[in-house]
Structure 1
Amino acid sequence: MESSSSEKPRNLGGSLPVPNVQDLAARPDDLTLTILRRYLRPHQLATGTHHQLIPVVDLGRLLDHHEHEEEAAKLSHACQDWGFFQVVNHGISDDTLEEMKRDVMAFFNLPLPDKTAFAQQPEWIEGYGQAFVTSEDQTLDWSDLYFLTTQPPTYRDLRFWPPEPSTFRRSMDRYSVETQRVATELLRAMARNLGLRDADEMTRLAAAQSMRMNYYPPCPAKERDRVLGVSPHSDAVGLTLLLQVSPVQGLQIRKGGAWIPVDPIPGALVANVGDVIEVVTNGRYKSIEHRVVVDAAQERVSVAAFHTATFGSTYGPLEEMVGGGEARYRSISVEDYVRLVVSSKLEGKNILDAIKIN
């Protein structure tokens, strides 16, 4: 059933070009209601008043023979009841994290012409710009992104890897290898929790990786409460590991009919179960909707490492997860799945809805 491809297919789909939000925010006097209207939403579900902390998983304890059991139970609870958790003691050095943060900030601080030299091309979302814009009349997100395919190295398109800052390629390479390791270890622990005979059925979901670097400028408009940095969605990948570059709150997850803020823990990564894990586990672990709100005065930057299977393989419920029941999702090749994702806008769990067996 599984084979992998060392080459990334071409023409997987792209996104319509949109205005640069960092540039708009830098010129608040030019931010007319006509321009802002593309970003305004009719109604927002309010942020929850009950402050809940999402689970924290200690990866060092999870990998420790003596302390594994208690931490595995925490991971199981996080995956089944939350879909989100923070990963501490992950083994990525402070130097690697800080260098990554510094270089991502340096890229976003380049003059606009220097960044648009790495603008996305029509056939794929790699590069600088925005993603999931499928029509001229959809509501836009108040953010810019810079998207790179990072693993395996044969998938990289170095046309989009900037020479400035000079350390960018090295820091991205180091950070990419380390986050892929963490994702693989977490997926292996999930496989054990699920009772799978072959952990490869889960760890293959970290064989490929891409990075989405997000820039959320402050929104100076008084209608800011109707603007979002990222629309509510679940991640259409296997496992996401998020590095919060700025200590500014913005990420919120949907739980119990309210939006719960995720407080950044210094040095931690925020992990979340993606749609692909929900498919593979036949709904045992569920992906969770999340969104990003924007601040009035402070910029926010984050880096999301998305982990998936390689091209040439297939997503579908594992036989062990279906058991004597019925598969809830149809199987789909990774190529067709990526084309489906890229051609859709971010909207709730619309990707899963498209492959659900009714």
Structure 2
Amino acid sequence: MDDAKPRHLGGSLPVPNVQDLAARRDELTLTPTLLDRVPTPLPAKEQEQIPVVDLGRLLDLAGGREEEAARLRWACENWGFFQVVNHGTPEETVEEMKRNVMGFFALPLAEKAALAQEPGEIEGYGQAFVVSEEQTLDWADMFFLLTQPPSYRDLRLWPSNPPTSKNCLENYSAEVQRVAGELLRAMAENLGARDHSDMTRLAASQAVRMNYCPPCPEAHVDRLLGLSPHSDAVALTLLLQVSPVPGLQIRRNGGWVPVMPLPGALVVNVGDVVEVLTNGKYKSVEHRAVVNAREQRMSTAAFHGAKFGGTYGPLKEVVKEEEARYRSVSVEEYTKLMLSSKLDGKNIIIVPKVNELKTEESLAKLSVATLASLKQ
């Protein structure tokens, strides 16, 4: 398979730098696109906590493999989120990554802006999924890089400050990719797939996004979010909480459940691609990030998927005798469709099959991204 990265996959419209806006709040009034958000009626549910999976036990390094495999299956089928502990990533690698993320966002704006996204490209410093000048913006900045395989990297955008950034990012990227591959292999076993590579290939490519949410006094009125409600249009996401301020919430049973990361844990969520490959057996879950009124919040998300040149579609072994609910689509086209859409709830872009589109009315209700996918 060709490891070349396609160009011009899509990008985001330029937006004001949120960290700079927050620093100059005494001089500025927040723009309508930043504050004109309809308050959500869903309450947070403090009593529930997402499941925890011990990767060491899952790999039979400490015993209890079957029990842990059952725990992973239950988490994927009933939550779509879990925390993974005992994942084998050296503590120093994790702590160094945290220091480098904090160090990067502490750099002067001009130095960060030198790594800004170019028009039509997603990599670099800026925002993501801004496709219209009218849409509500999130109260966050991000730094997005393709990290795996090495041939996908644009090293011009890899920061030289802090000085250990490049080496740290390379080490962290490899460790987290390993964890993603091991989890996907365990999922394949749980699904009864004979060829585990049908699932493990979903960790072959990786992108890392560093997130920064400044504090904002308006956050308490729920008119501002660090990340709009959405499901991840990838296979598997592994999130590292960098600062001690939590903010991630998942939609569950009519409310928002806050995720409280355990020390040393990675928060894992099933993405839309895994939902597609499992034909809906494992479901991606809508989530959001809230803003703290007094403290900044930082995190790092590692997104995993298949390499360009492959396809996404339901696995035959999972579908068996039932109807396939999703179309197959190339990884490249799927990525383009994803990057052309804003974050807007749970919206898998290749859901319908052709035989489900029976009327003009149903066609009219489809998103532009979905219609584009039907041209495959």
Q: Same fold (TM over 0.5)?
A: yes
Change (3 A) 1:106 1:222: closer
| Structure 2 equivalent of residue 158 of structure 1 | 155
| Structure 1 unaligned blocks of 5 or more | none
Q: Which has the higher contact order (CA 8 A, sep 6+)?
A: 1
TM-score, length-scaled by structure 1: 0.96
Residue 352 of structure 2 is aligned to residue 356 of structure 1: yes
Residue 206 of structure 2 is aligned to residue 209 of structure 1: yes
Runs of 4+ in structure 1 deviating by more than 2 angstroms, as ranges, are 36-40, 45-50, 220-224, 353-358
| Structure 2 equivalent of residue 63 of structure 1 | 59
Counterpart of 1:105, as a letter, is M
| Structure 1 equivalent of residue 175 of structure 2 | 178
Q: CA RMSD in A?
A: 1.3
Deviation (angstroms), 1:37:
4.4
Deviation (angstroms), 1:282:
0.5
Q: What CA distance in whole angstroms lies between the structure 2 residues aligned with 1:137 and 1:121?
A: 21
SS in 1 for 2:218: coil
Deviation (angstroms), 1:30:
2.4
Deviation (angstroms), 1:344:
0.3
Q: What CA distance in whole angstroms lies between the structure 2 residues aligned with 1:134 and 1:220?
A: 27
Counterpart of 1:54, as a letter, is I
Q: What CA distance in whole angstroms lies between the structure 1 residues aligned with 2:97 and 2:343?
A: 27
CA contact 1:28–1:220 (8 Å) conserved in 2: no
Change (3 A) 1:105 1:164: same
Counterpart of 1:48, as a letter, is A
Deviation (angstroms), 1:39:
3.4
Counterpart of 1:205, as a letter, is L
Q: Deviations over 1:165-202 (max 9, x none)?
A: 11000000000000000000000000000111111000
TM-score, length-scaled by structure 2: 0.92
- Choose the corresponding residue for 1:122, options 119, 124, 127: 119
- Greater alpha carbon shift after TM alignment, 130-139 vs 43-52: 43-52
Change (3 A) 1:168 1:224: farther
1:103-122 to 2 correspondence within 5 Å?
103-122=100-119
| Structure 1 equivalent of residue 232 of structure 2 | 235
SS in 1 for 2:26: helix
Q: Deviations over 1:124-173 (max 9, x none)?
A: 21000001000000000000000000000010000110111110000000
Q: Deviations over 1:88-121 (max 9, x none)?
A: 0000011000000000110000000000000001
Q: What CA distance in whole angstroms lies between the structure 1 residues aligned with 2:314 and 2:105?
A: 39
Counterpart of 1:268, as a letter, is A
Q: Deviations over 1:192-247 (max 9, x none)?
A: 00111111000000000000110011013377421010000000000000000011
Counterpart of 1:60, as a letter, is G
CA contact 2:238–2:302 (8 Å) conserved in 1: yes
| Structure 2 unaligned blocks of 5 or more | 357-376
| Structure 1 equivalent of residue 50 of structure 2 | 54
Counterpart of 2:265, as a letter, is A
Residue 192 of structure 2 is aligned to residue 195 of structure 1: yes
| Structure 2 equivalent of residue 143 of structure 1 | 140
Deviation (angstroms), 1:31:
3.1
SS in 1 for 2:222: helix
1:286-325 to 2 correspondence within 5 Å?
286-325=283-322
Deviation (angstroms), 1:49:
3.6
Figure out how many residues of one structure are paired with residues of the other and give that number: 353
Q: What CA distance in whole angstroms lies between the structure 1 residues aligned with 2:290 and 2:89?
A: 28
CA contact 2:33–2:137 (8 Å) conserved in 1: no
Q: Identity of aligned pairs, percent? A: 64
Q: Deviations over 1:220-278 (max 9, x none)?
A: 33774210100000000000000000111100000111000000211100000000000
SS in 2 for 1:355: coil
